[in-house]
Every structure is written in structure tokens, then in C-alpha cells.
Amino acid sequence: MALYEFFSQPVERSYRAGLCSKAAVFLLLATALTYIPPLLVAFRSHGFWLKRSSYEEQPTVRFQHQVLFLALLGPERGGFLAWSTFPAFNRLQGDHLRIPLVSTREEDRNQDGKMDMLHFKLELPLQSTEHVLGVQLILTFSYQLHRMSTFVMQSMAFLQSSFALPGSQLYVNGDLRLQQKQPLSYSGLDVRYNVSVINGTSPFAYDYDLTHIVAAYQERNVTTVLTDPNPVWLVGRAAEAPFVINAVIRYPVEVISYLPGFWEIIKFAWIQYVSILLIFLWVFERIKRFVFQNQVVTTIPVTAVPQGELCKEHLS
Amino acid sequence: MCTSPLVLLQVFFLMILEGVRPQPSPSPSGAVSTSSDSGPGVQGGTLQSSSKGPGTARAVPGISTVGPNFATPSTPENKTMDLFPALPICVCDLTPGTCDINCCCDRDCYLIHPRTVFSFCLPGSVRSSSWVCVDNSLIFRSNSPFPSRIFTDLNGIRQFCVHVNNSKLNYFQELQKVNASNFQALATEFGGKSFTPTFQAEPPPPFYRAGDPILTYFSEWSLVGLLKQPAGLGAGGLCTESNPAGFLESRSTTCARFFKNLANSCTLDPALDAASYYNFTVLKVPGGMTDLQNMKFQVPVTPVSQAGSPLLAGNTCQNVVSQVTYEIETNGTFGIQKVSVSFGLANLTVEPGASLQQHFIIRFRASQSTAASLPAPRSGNPGYIFGKPLLALTGDVSHSMTLLQSQGDGTCSVRRPEVQFGVNAMSGCRLRLKKMGCSHLQQETYQTLHGRPRPEHVAIFGNADPAQKGEWTRILSRNCSVSATHCVSCCAIPVSLEIQVLWAYIGLQSNPQAHVSGARFLYQCQSIKDSKVTEVALTTIVTFVDITQKPEPPRGQPRIDWKLPFDFFFPFKVAFSKGVHSQKGSVSPILILCFLLLGVLS
């Protein structure tokens, strides 16, 4: 009757030697060589500590219904028209104030609760002698990120466009992109930039100066910028027609870089270390087995007594 | 038994060593040594058109594959083999009768060894061939059937080289014969898009289809044309005359015209003359083109009201067409039944750089429809559509809600834009106050703010019927409370109106319908001394607020609820969501998971 192997079990054999023997020194050396070089290999091949990571999120953006608008008129010098949603700014303008018709709509295309785009239209009534050669427009947004750290910011989209010919319409279709000069934190609440872009309560002209607004805004480490490579100027305005700004501003999904937390750093380091360590463990296991089996270092081999027999002896 | 691990170990270390070594290393650690770093005569490196350079060669140790560019070809054997035989095609011989520099195959040079004169040979001027070389000291005898030679490179190292047969280098494909029969077939088989226009004339279809241009006939000149709807084109926004109107496509266009000399063009420009918009007939069906004399196929364009031709009176050009409205009755495949046109006229002041904005409106309606006049279009059916006008009701008359607007000089304009559903808006203007009593003043400002007539109700849905009062909701309106002031001659007039509209989605979640839940007019007043102030700034703000509360979907079908945070089961979630339609797809991740678990447990 043929026999088949149904179960197998390794038999342990131990090698004994003194504490100050060659075998002890060898074992110490082998252990050190097993565990330390993987760390060095992992560290010296770079990227051991995860210093920066990134994630994707569509920000929660809402248009704050704050508008600051300047239209530069030509061909005479110094002509301009201005309007904003800030009463103090409008008071400062005097004769240059011209109230446009502004209509806005934010749209949630995919019904996920986050707005996807803003339709903005501004119709500036003009006299037949007035010709718009350039516009400057600031729209403010509240910008929030929630996935890693809760990041709340008030940001702006600055649009400046001009053309050599008097325009009748400016069409802009672009994205409101996030610009990071430094990574965000991995958790916590970040309200560093939850301050209004334009100080609407101030009565002073300085606070509404575009250079001042832009300079203060660019001091921030995290900003938004309106990217539209090709704003379209349409020229040829009939005498009674208004100047129109037609803007579609999309809120795209952003890739946000952040500083990983402690456990994330440790996790990735651990993965790298252990994967290299496994190879070293296997190699040194073989070396040790070779050394002890062939008595390269002097030891006394002892075959371990099976556990069951030991127990029996104790019982009897 | 005990040696096998060591062998494995060795192999393993070798693997590591091989892996660590940079890949394009030209001198492997093999026993065969050679100076293949530079190759025999890389200095004449421009001749490498035929071969792989040593940098890219991942060759057998000690063998480098290089071109036949040898610096000093020394031939120890007495075979006087011509290294550079004259080529049948000499691509660099560009000046006939003259020796081209560095062109080694130019017969005008009369050089037996051109390389002695030229610094290098231009690519293509020598026969391309590939040689594989090893150090000469390694070879005792060559049994190779290929031609072999021994070269000495610049370093004085003798190299034994074998000319390998590289079929890729001297390979030509025979050209196909092209004749009249297969020309078109070849052109379509291998050709792509080109500038050839894909325009072909078709016979006129028996009837108009939606979007087809409408044919017209000028009996005066026996000309067939298209019904035009001038539209703004390009950056200029100027009117392009030849924009055709599409059958059944009701639309309106606006464009601008500029006049260099209005005094001339006032009477001469046909675009300003109303008659030019109806002095033709419209073909009932395109098939009428075959029989243009048959009046059965022709529909005259009838002006609704008499419009005179432009007239230059002093410094103004009168009766200039500023708006053209075509009303076209259609009857399915029987084509156009009736065309009427009405005009809006304006007067233009003659001045340099005068301009005019023209509106062109074309409306189609089925002749079967009983309504004599076009009913006001719906703003949605039933739910409101974003951007459509918000419907208001005053008495029994339905109209759209409007807001004020300023004109060029900043004063309030007579034209009032519509309040569009879902669109927040803000506008303002200056109102000149006339000397009148306080109550009159209040009345005028109120009217400027809310428009005329004053909206009393707002439609709940976009298809509200004025006769059905249940489909309208009352606008909550509150005039500003006149607080008792100590000032006697003061007058409280409203300066701003905020129209607040609460709306929500209703109905099926898959097809939600927007409806207006309520609307409110909010006035803010300012008390002025009626004798002092001559101008007030009025503003109107429109705010739409979405008050939809999305319910949890009902518990009809069981679904997997992933409660763990941070996308804990992300890969499985993706696999499951993809495998909804194909059950096979969702099996594999489970299997993989099972195997993983088994592996971990054992």
C-alpha cells in the first residue's frame, strides 16, 4: 500500500555556545547586518520620509457677490467709469460712478451640493461718446477645502483686459485655480486667509486702490487666480448699446499638496524599510543556517525534545 | 543540500550587482577585453548613419557595433578592396560639374581616396554597411562566411571586424503602378483630410426641413436668394447681410451698423430701407425652384403696417429701420403659408461715426394654431428653467418681472431688463426729481423701482395660467414705514428695492422641477427734503434663494452602506461600483482578497 505525505512538521535543532564564543560574535554581527543596512539602503535611496503629498478635491466655492469694476475709457486721457458693491467706493467716485446691470448665477451641474460654475454678466450703459478700451474687474469668492484640513479662505478673481479698439463685449471663460506657495496642513482648521480681499468698510481711497489690493493679496501663500488664456474682445459697439462683460468662471477639481501627518510619514517609511528588510532576513537566515550546520563556528547542536514528551515526564 | 543556498546567494548577489550597474556601460565585466568605448574611429562620427553608436549598443561583451567610419583603414592582406565604392545615387552631388565638398561619392572630384582630402564624408555619400568588431588578438582563424577585415583604429589597436548582413539598411519597396483606374482608390486609401472642399450640389428637396435656409425669389431680377437674417459676426459685431434664416428656427439677432457718411447712406443704403425687407417673394417649398414662374409656389411678404422709406430732413435721417420682425406661418411639409413683416423705425442724427443697432426677429408658428396672436412663451413646463423670465401677474394680465436699468448718462432707462429665474442681479440708476408733492414723488419712485404695472402675484411654475389663480402666489410687499420724524418738510421716498425669491425643487429626484415658493419686495426709504435734492440714486437687487431640502432616498432597494471614513474600502468600492452591470468584474477583487487572506493565515 502506497503511503502519501499528508502532514509535515520541521524539527527544531538548537546550537549552543558560550556568551563570549565566536558563535555569539557571529550572531551579533549577523543581526546587526540584517537590520541596519536595510535602513541605510531605504534612507540613502531618497524618499524615505514622505515630506509632501497631494490629494484631489473639488473646493466649495461661493461667489460672495462683491464686485469692483473699472472701465477705462478712451481715446481721451483719464476717462474712466467705476462701480462696486461697496457704498464707500461708490461715494468716492463722484461723476465717474455708473451703475451697471449685474446678473449672476451659480450652477451646480452634477447636483453634488458643490457649485461648479458661475455665470456673471455685467452690462455697463454708455453714452455714444464713451468708448471702453480696457476693464479691470475683481470678483470675490469664499473658498473652502474640507478633506484633509478645513481650509477657509476669501479669495478673488482678478480680470484685467484691454484692447486697442473700443470694445462692445468682453467674453471670459476660465477656471478659478488654486495657487499654493506652501503646502496645507493635514488636519485642523486653517483660517489664516479668511479675511476679506477688499476692506469694504473702509472709507479711504487707499483701500480700494487696485495696486494695494493686488499687493496685499499676493502676500498670501495660498491664493486663487482666474486663468483664461484667451479673453475675447468684441469690438464695434452701436451708440446705444451697453458694454457687456460676459464671464463664465468654473470651479475645477484641484490637486492640493499638503504636509503629511506623523503616522502617514511613519507608514510610508515602514513600508520601504520592511520590504528591503525581508530580503536581508532571508539572506542572513540562509547564511546563519550554513554557518551553524557546517560548524564554521563551534557550537553544540541539540535536537529539541518534543513538547509532548516533556509534559509527560513532568506529569510522571 | 548545504551548498545550494550558497549558490543561490551568489546568483542573488550577481543579480544585484548587475542591477546596480548603470545600463549603458560599454565595457562589461566579461573576460573579453576591448576598447570599444570609442569604437574604431568614432572621430569620423558623422558617418554613423548606417549603424548604432556605441552609446546605445547593448552588445555582447567585447563586441561593438559601429559604422564603417575608420580613421586609418589599414589592409594587411593584399586585397585592394574599395572601401568606398561609388554609389549609384549620389545625394550630395548638388552642383553638376563641380566637386562638392565632403561629398565622397562626387565623381567630379576625381579622388580615389576622398577621405584623404575631405575631413569627413557627408551622410549618404558612402555605402552604408555595418561592421561588428572584436579585439584582433582574440581571433586566430575566421570561419565566418561574411566578409571580414582587420582595421587599426586611432589608438593603434587592431580590430577584427565582420561585415554583417543588415537587411534593413538596403531595402526598397517597389512602387505601385498608378493609372486612371486605381488613382482614386489609392488616394482614398492612403489619403487623409486635405483642403479639398467636400461640397456637392444637391437637387432641391421636396419640402423644407427644420434648419434649412428659406428660398426667396426676386421677380424683378429673376433671382433666387435666401431669406436673410443679418447677424453680428466676428470681433466687430457688424451686420453680415448674408446670414440665412433657418426654417422653423425662431430666433432674434442683433448687430451694429456704422456709417461713414450717413447723409449719403440714409437714402441709398438698402439696409435702412424698409422696402428692401419685403420686395421679394418666399418660395413655399424648395421644389418651387424648378418652376419659378408658377405663382402657386410663391408667398408674398406682406408688411403689417406701411413703412416709408428713409428721409433726410435737415440733420436727421428719419424712418430708419431699427427692427425687423418676420412672422412666418408654416404647415408641415406643405411649407410656408404666409409671411408678414413689421418694422421698428428710428431717427438718426447725421454725424461722423454714426452707428445704429438693428434687431432682426424671425418667428415661426404653425398655421393650424388657433391663437391669433402669439401667447407669451412659458418660462418652463412645469418647473422654471434657469435664465427664463420670472412671471408676474397684475390683475388678469401676465407679464414678466422687470428691474430698473440706467442708460448712458446714468439716469433711469425706459427699457427695463427682465428678472431671470435663478439669476441674482443688481442694478441702479439716478432719478431726476421733478418739483412736485411728496405723494407724487413717492408714487414715481415706487413705480420706477417695481416697474409698471406693479407685480402683485408671481407664478409658482413656469407654465402658470393667468386665469387659474391657484397657480400664482401673492408677493409679500411692504412699503417702507414712514416713521414720524420731527422734520416737517421731509418726504420719505424709497431708494432701494430688494426682490427676494425663495424657490425649491419639487417632484421626482430624477427630474426635479423648480418652483417659486414665495417672493417678497423689500423697500428701503430715505427721507429727503423735497426742496433740496434734485436727484436720487435708486437700486434694485434680485436675490434667489434655494430652499430645497433634499430628502434621503427611500429605503426601497438595499444598498451597500460604506460607513468607514477616509475611503477605507476604496479599491473594493470602485470595483463594486463598476461591477454593478457586469457581475464578473466584481468577482476578481473578492478572489484576490481571499487569496491574500489565505496567504496571510497560512
Residues B20-63 pLDDT 10s:
333 333 333 333 333 333 333 333 333 333 333 333 333 333 33
Distances (CA, A) of B336 to A66, A244, B248, B296, B566: 51, 37, 10, 12, 64
Strand duo B354-366 + B316-330: pairing: parallel
What does the CA dihedral B131, B135, B136, B139 come to, rounded to 10 degrees? Answer: -90
| Spatial separation of the C-alpha atoms in residues A290 and A288, rounded to whole Å | 5
For B124-146, the DSSP string reads TSS---EEEEEEGGG-S----SS
A290:B427 CB<8 A:
no
Average pLDDT, chain B: 75
Cα dihedral across residues B45, B46, B49, B55: positive or negative: positive
Q: Chain B within 8 Å of A101 (Cβ-Cβ)? A: yes
**Least CB–CB distance from B5: residue in A85, A126, A286:** A286
The per-residue pLDDT for A138 is: 94
| Spatial separation of the C-alpha atoms in residues A44 and B105, rounded to whole Å | 56
Which of B503, B529, B546 marks a domain boundary? B546
Q: A228 φ, ψ to 5°?
A: -135, 105
CB A184 within 8 A of CB A257: yes
Q: How many residues does chain A have?
A: 316
Please tell me whether residues B221 and B340 are part of one structural domain.
yes
* Mean pLDDT across B500-517: 90
Domain map (residue ranges) of chain A: 17-49+262-299, 54-258
Which of B214, B281, B278, B74 shows the shortest CA–CA distance to B158? B74
Highest mean pLDDT out of B16-20, B240-244, B578-582: B240-244
Q: Chain B within 8 Å of A102 (Cβ-Cβ)? A: yes
Please tell me whether residues B530 and B453 are part of one structural domain.
yes
Which of A232, A231, A230, A227 shows the shortest CA–CA distance to A252? A227
Which of B495, B522, B546 marks a domain boundary? B546
Strand partners, B556: none
| Spatial separation of the C-alpha atoms in residues A246 and A234, rounded to whole Å | 11
| Spatial separation of the C-alpha atoms in residues B131 and B119, rounded to whole Å | 22
List of chain A residues whose C-beta atoms are within 8 Å of the C-beta of residue B406: 98-101, 125
Rg (CA), chain B: 45
SS (H, E, C) chain A: CCCCCCCCCCCCEEEECCCCCHHHHHHHHHHHHHHHHHHHHHHHCCCCCCCCEEEEECCEEEEEEEEEEEEEEECCCCCEEEEECCHHHHHHHHHHECCCEEEEEEECCCCCCCCCEEEEEEEECCCCCCEEEEEEEEEEEEEEECCCCEEEEEEEEEEEEEEEEEEEEEEEEEEEEEEECCCECCCCEECCCCCCCCCCCCCCHHHHCHHHHHHHHHCCCEEEEEECCCCEEEECCCCCCCEEEEEEEECCCEEEEECCCHHHHHHHHHHHHHHHHHHHHHHHHHHHHHHHHCCCCCCEEEECCCHHHHHHHHHC
The per-residue pLDDT for A160 is: 92
Q: How many residues does chain B have?
A: 602
Residue B484 lies in a domain: yes
Residue of A nearest to B5 (CA): A286
Task: Express each pLDDT in B263-276 by its tens digit.
Answer: 888 888 888 888 88
Which of B521, B546, B571 marks a domain boundary? B546
Residue of A nearest to B10 (CA): A283
Please tell me whether residues B529 and B392 are part of one structural domain.
yes
| Spatial separation of the C-alpha atoms in residues B68 and B157, rounded to whole Å | 16
- B110 grid coordinates: 576625381
Residue B89 lies in a domain: no
Task: Express each pLDDT in A131-183 by its tens digit.
Answer: 899 999 999 999 999 998 999 999 999 999 988 888 889 999 999 999 999 99
Q: Chain B within 8 Å of A22 (Cβ-Cβ)? A: no
| Spatial separation of the C-alpha atoms in residues B499 and B518, rounded to whole Å | 11
DSSP 8-class letter at B422: T
β strands within B367-512, DSSP E: 391-394, 397-400, 424-432, 457-459, 472-474, 476-478, 490-506
Please tell me whether residues B313 and B402 are part of one structural domain.
no
- A7 grid coordinates: 502532514
The per-residue pLDDT for A276 is: 95
Residue B570 lies in a domain: no
Strand duo A222-227 + A232-235: pairing: unpaired
Q: A89 φ, ψ to 5°?
A: -65, -45
Is the bond preceding B558 in cis, omega lying within 30 degrees of 0? no
List of chain A residues whose C-beta atoms are within 8 Å of the C-beta of residue B2: 290, 293-294
The per-residue pLDDT for A63 is: 93
A104:B423 CB<8 A:
yes
Please tell me whether residues B397 and B526 are part of one structural domain.
yes
- B448 grid coordinates: 420706477
The per-residue pLDDT for A224 is: 95
Residue of A nearest to B427 (CA): A101
| Spatial separation of the C-alpha atoms in residues B476 and B470, rounded to whole Å | 16
Cβ atoms within 10 Å of A271's Cβ, excluding its own: 10
Please tell me whether residues B222 and B362 are part of one structural domain.
yes
List of chain A residues whose C-beta atoms are within 8 Å of the C-beta of residue B233: none
Instruction: Suggest the residue from B426, B495, B498 to mutate for an interface test with chain A (most A CBs closer than 10 A).
Output: B426
Could you give the 3-state DSSP secondary structure of residue B595? helix
Q: Chain A within 8 Å of B322 (Cβ-Cβ)? A: no
DSSP 8-class letter at B288: G
The per-residue pLDDT for A113 is: 84
The domain tally of chain B equals: 2
Please tell me whether residues B417 and B358 are part of one structural domain.
no
Task: Express each pLDDT in B110-151 by its tens digit.
Answer: 877 777 788 888 877 776 667 778 888 887 777 777 777 777
Task: Express each pLDDT in A95-138 by its tens digit.
Answer: 888 889 999 999 988 888 899 999 999 999 998 888 899 999 99
Residue B251 lies in a domain: yes
Task: Express each pLDDT in B308-326 by its tens digit.
Answer: 888 888 888 888 998 999 9
**Least CB–CB distance from A236: residue in B9, B238, B403:** B238
| Spatial separation of the C-alpha atoms in residues A172 and B277, rounded to whole Å | 36
DSSP 8-class letter at B207: S
What does the CA dihedral B140, B143, B149, B152 come to, rounded to 10 degrees? Answer: -20
Residue B231 lies in a domain: yes
At A120, the amino acid letter reads F
DSSP 8-class letter at B268: H
B409:A127 CB<8 A:
yes
pLDDT range class, residue B71, cuts 50, 70, 90: very low
- B499 grid coordinates: 426682490
List of chain B residues whose C-beta atoms are within 8 Å of the C-beta of residue A232: 235
| Spatial separation of the C-alpha atoms in residues A122 and A170, rounded to whole Å | 10
Residue B319 lies in a domain: yes
A102:B425 CB<8 A:
yes
CA angle B397, B495, A197 (to 5 degrees): 115
pLDDT range class, residue B375, cuts 50, 70, 90: low
Please tell me whether residues B356 and B474 are part of one structural domain.
no
| Spatial separation of the C-alpha atoms in residues B471 and B516, rounded to whole Å | 10
Task: Express each pLDDT in B157-205 by its tens digit.
Answer: 888 888 776 666 655 667 788 888 888 888 888 887 777 766 666 777 8
Within 214-253 of A, beta carbons closer than 8 Å to B belong to 232-241
Residue B117 lies in a domain: no
| Spatial separation of the C-alpha atoms in residues A8 and A3, rounded to whole Å | 14
Q: Residue written as cell 436720487?
A: B536
Which of A272, A271, A264 shows the shortest CA–CA distance to A41? A272
Residue B354 lies in a domain: yes
Is the bond preceding B382 in cis, omega lying within 30 degrees of 0? yes
Task: Express each pLDDT in B280-315 by its tens digit.
Answer: 899 888 887 777 787 888 888 989 888 788 888 888
B356:A238 CB<8 A:
yes
Domain that holds residue B284: 212-366
CB A302 within 8 A of CB A16: yes
| Spatial separation of the C-alpha atoms in residues B126 and B83, rounded to whole Å | 9
Beta-carbon contacts of A267 under 8 Å, excluding residues fewer than 6 positions away, are none
* Mean pLDDT across B215-222: 86
Please tell me whether residues B338 and B238 are part of one structural domain.
yes
Could you give the 3-state DSSP secondary structure of residue B335? coil
| Spatial separation of the C-alpha atoms in residues B167 and B245, rounded to whole Å | 64
CB A227 within 8 A of CB A177: yes
| Spatial separation of the C-alpha atoms in residues A290 and B374, rounded to whole Å | 100
Here the ipTM equals 0.70
What does the buried/exposed string (b/e) look like for B517-556 if buried means 16 or more CB atoms within 10 Å of the residue's CB?
ebbebbbebbebebeeeeebbbbbbbebeeeeeeeeeeee
A98:B355 CB<8 A:
no
For B336-392, the DSSP string reads EEEEEEEEEEEEEE--TTEEEEEEEEEEEEETT---SSPPPPPS-SSSBPTTSBPEE
SS3 of chain B: helix, strand, coil, percent, to 5: 20, 30, 50
What does the buried/exposed string (b/e) look like for B63-81 if buried means 16 or more CB atoms within 10 Å of the residue's CB?
ebbbbbbbbebeeeeeeee
pLDDT range class, residue B89, cuts 50, 70, 90: confident
Note down pLDDT in tens along chain A; length 316 residues: 688 888 988 888 888 898 889 999 999 999 999 999 999 999 888 888 998 999 999 999 999 999 999 999 887 777 889 999 998 888 888 888 888 999 999 998 888 889 999 999 999 999 888 889 999 999 999 999 999 899 999 999 999 998 888 888 999 999 999 999 999 998 899 999 999 999 888 888 888 889 999 999 999 999 999 998 889 988 888 888 899 999 999 999 999 999 998 999 999 999 999 999 999 999 999 999 999 999 888 888 887 665 554 444 444 4
